[in-house]
Amino acid sequence: MIRYLLLLAILIQYPACGSKEEYKVDEFEVAFELPSLIDVTQGGEYTFNVKDGKSPTTTDSFIFESEEGISFVCPIVSSSSGSFTIRLASNIQSGYHQVYIKRDTRKKTFGKTYLNIVEDIGFTPDEGTTIYGIVSSSEGAVANVVVSDGVEVAVTNEQGIYQLKSAKTQGSVFISIPGGYEVSSNGVLPQFFAKLKGAPQVTERVDFTLKKVQNQDDYKVFMLGDMHLANRTNDASQFSEFTADLSKTMEQNKGQKMYAIALGDMTWELYWYSNNYYFPQYLNAVNTQLKNLQIFHVMGNHDNDYKATSDFAAETQYRNLIAPTYYSFNIGKVHYVVIDNIDCSDYDGTESRNYEKRVTNEQLNWLAKDLSHVSKSTPVVVATHAQIFYPTTSGFKYDHDVTNTTRLFDILAGYEVHFVTGHTHSIFNVTPEAAIVGNHNFYEHNSGSICASWWWSGYLTPGVHISPDGTPGGYAIWDVTGTDLKWKYKATGWPEEYQFRSYDLNNVHFSMADVPLMPPSVPDATKKVYEQYVNTYPANNDNEVLIKIWNWNANWSLSVVDENDNKLTPEALWTYDPLHIAALSVKRFNQSNLSSTPSFVTQKFTHFFKVKAMNADADLVITVKDEFGHTWTEHMQRPKLFSTDAYKKK
């Protein structure tokens, strides 16, 4: 016991090595202005303005303490009643630091600042400039790079230097990555932007580093529609099937440059709080499952915080964790523009989420400045979440704020423009000959969704991953060669040749007997929704065949020939997809506790074609051809069985 007490006394007298040195906290007469941001060269000097003549002495120690708790002692090389100057410790790194001054055994804190370690470029910014910097690569300065704060737009000079007279309203600065270059990545996120640290009136320096790359004129872009990850309906497991499919596609094209654009709704804001699933969890999933792929992101309506009460506040989490909400970049000879067309100005902090599909004037003003640096001979791909147009049985209509859309078209006039959109969980295509385009060389590619029916069909019927319009869940693959753009749709878990689906309608029928659990008390409006499926597909022997072609546009062709070489005439129609009805809608309506129409059930849509065969046994050859000359053929043997098992992923 005596030996134990002696040991305890020694330990108390001599604390463990490596513990932080303790200082007596006491007031002493020092007061100075600590800016929120300090730009300084490595090992250089920085001068602070003193308040009320209360300056430190040269025998005091000036200390920066990093967020990791590492202290850097910087000597005070001169001091007067108006200012004092420190010399930076040579090993200190950029980042947030707590600032202290130590005097004998006393240590006083003065707040936190961001220390930005920069190289001396021998440049003094113009009066009024609040953001400036240099854009360079390993080969040196890069000229003619477009840089913006989301309001003002500048271009780097021959020395790679830019400057902006910015009010810093968007909180970041970004470069429009020039063709032939890439930026570094934080996981899947390309680092083409930087968050601003200083107050609006503070001049701060932000540098960008580019990497020069070869063979960028020939590449692929994966268009990734709505993911809706929320930790529900087995979405994590189903999502891994998508990432495995995309990884396989990348492996098959190894050696070619590849990029991706996520078209919004990566998350589902209704489950941010209840399921604790939002951007960090989404990023963990994609960073774990996808390698060597930069994903540029678009903001979707479900990526806005529904608890906010303004558009800017609703975007905060996205801006902090993903990227600016609008920006541009170049890959090879194509200019890409990301636009946020979800306006949440009317959000009231509840789940009402009253948004408008609109491009704000602020973005339009920026876009006009951005495009002033882009030749009219350059194709422009505009990625937004919500669709610009929408198909109806009588043609396409505007599905967007008309006033600002008209101005958007005016700004884009003279360019070949490809709008790439998501949001609808379906596929449709608008081409320049459509009347709605108004003589512009404009396209819209509503690009399908990764989650299909919000992951419900694969949850209820494993192996059948299908959207409400009948399109399988998946993603688009764009092949770019110079200024030539080609596209196709890739269904998750299927080969690229899977571009349509056929049904022998002699074997497709639905009835009320399929939903025995539907309660008699269900509202008539709900019952009528299901009855539409029954009325569309009653038991019959009409020898009709239904064909669903998901990525159809006006420049595609369909040929159907029977076993006697008779050419059948396809009839285009809007209808309900039978497989979606069987895999999802029947199961959603067949619930004993059903009290209203379920969400995500089958919707009537376009891109269906019907032909009439001569009898129940007549085999058919169905040939589909796209505008690029790709041809896909099915030798359809009839009778053809209809069941969810018959259409599952192989």
SS (H, E, C) 381-448: EEECCCCCEEEECCEEEECCCHHHHHHHHHHHCCCCEEEEECCCCCEEEECCCCHHHCCCCEEEEEEC
What's the total number of domains in the chain?
Answer: 4
CA distance 389 to 442: 11
Tens-digit pLDDT profile for residues 443-498: 999 999 999 999 999 999 999 999 999 999 999 999 999 999 999 999 999 999 99
CA distance 387 to 382: 11
Q: Which of 157, 177, 209 is the last residue of a domain?
A: 209
3-state secondary structure of 529: helix
Cis geometry, peptide bond prior to residue 639 (ω within 30 degrees of 0): yes
CA distance 355 to 301: 8
CA distance 579 to 469: 10
Give the residue from 174, 387, 180, 114 showing the smallest Cα distance to 264.
387
Per-residue tokens: 93: 């790194």
250 belongs to a structural domain? yes
- Whether residue 364 is found in the same domain as residue 318: yes
Burial class (CB in 10 A: 0-12, 13-18, 19+), 80: exposed
Judged by phi (left if over 0) then psi (alpha if -120 to 50, else beta), residue 105 lies in: alpha
pLDDT on residue 25: 55
pLDDT at 21 over 60: no
- Whether residue 135 is found in the same domain as residue 201: yes
- Whether residue 529 is found in the same domain as residue 548: yes
Which distant-in-sequence residues (6+ apart) come within 8 Å of 483 by Cβ? 333, 334, 377, 378, 379
pLDDT on residue 17: 29
239 belongs to a structural domain? yes
CA distance 235 to 250: 22
* Mean pLDDT within 427-454: 96
How confident is residue 650, by pLDDT bands cut at 50, 70 and 90?
low
pLDDT at 4 over 60: no
CA distance 404 to 364: 8
* Mean pLDDT within 171-199: 97
- Whether residue 292 is found in the same domain as residue 428: yes
pLDDT at 359 over 70: yes
* Mean pLDDT within 291-306: 98
* Mean pLDDT within 587-611: 97
CA distance 32 to 76: 14
pLDDT on residue 268: 98
Q: What is the CATH number of the domain that holds 157?
A: 2.60.40.1120
Question: What global pTM score does this model have?
Answer: 0.92
154 belongs to a structural domain? yes
Give yes or no for a contact between 94 and 115, defined as CB atoms under 8 angstroms apart.
yes
pLDDT at 649 over 90: no
240 belongs to a structural domain? yes
Per-residue tokens: 447: 């690009």
pLDDT at 405 over 50: yes
Tens-digit pLDDT profile for residues 74-111: 999 999 999 999 999 989 999 999 999 999 989 999 99
- Whether residue 227 is found in the same domain as residue 300: yes
- Whether residue 429 is found in the same domain as residue 554: no
pLDDT on residue 317: 97
CA 291 to chain centroid: 17
pLDDT at 26 over 80: no
How confident is residue 9, by pLDDT bands cut at 50, 70 and 90?
very low
* Mean pLDDT within 32-45: 94
Q: Which of 209, 227, 243 is the last residue of a domain?
A: 209
Mean pLDDT score of the chain, rounded to an integer?
94
pLDDT at 214 over 80: yes
pLDDT at 14 over 80: no
- Whether residue 633 is found in the same domain as residue 585: yes
- Whether residue 203 is found in the same domain as residue 230: no
8 belongs to a structural domain? no
Backbone angles phi, psi at 576, to 5 degrees: -100, 140
Q: What is the CATH number of the domain that holds 92?
A: 2.70.50.70
* Mean pLDDT within 600-619: 98
* Mean pLDDT within 359-365: 97
Burial class (CB in 10 A: 0-12, 13-18, 19+), 159: middle
pLDDT on residue 24: 54
Please, what sign has the CA dihedral across residues 434, 553, 492, 609?
A: positive
Which distant-in-sequence residues (6+ apart) come within 8 Å of 239 by Cβ? 227, 229, 285, 289, 450, 451
CA distance 305 to 327: 21
17 belongs to a structural domain? no
Distances (CA, A) of 67 to 46, 99, 116: 21, 11, 14
- Whether residue 176 is found in the same domain as residue 284: no
525 belongs to a structural domain? yes
Backbone angles phi, psi at 530, to 5 degrees: -70, -35
Residue range of the domain that includes 471? 215-491
Give yes or no for a contact between 180 and 295, defined as CB atoms under 8 angstroms apart.
no
CA distance 624 to 141: 51
How confident is residue 27, by pLDDT bands cut at 50, 70 and 90?
confident
- Whether residue 189 is found in the same domain as residue 323: no
More reliable by pLDDT, 650 or 581: 581
Residue 191: its H or E element: none
pLDDT on residue 7: 40
- Whether residue 514 is found in the same domain as residue 615: yes
510 belongs to a structural domain? yes
Amino acid identity, position 496: E
* Mean pLDDT within 253-273: 97
Q: Which of 209, 229, 247 is the last residue of a domain?
A: 209
- Whether residue 113 is found in the same domain as residue 135: no
Q: What is the CB neighbour count within 10 angstroms for residue 242?
A: 22
* Mean pLDDT within 542-557: 97
pLDDT on residue 18: 33
CA distance 436 to 539: 39
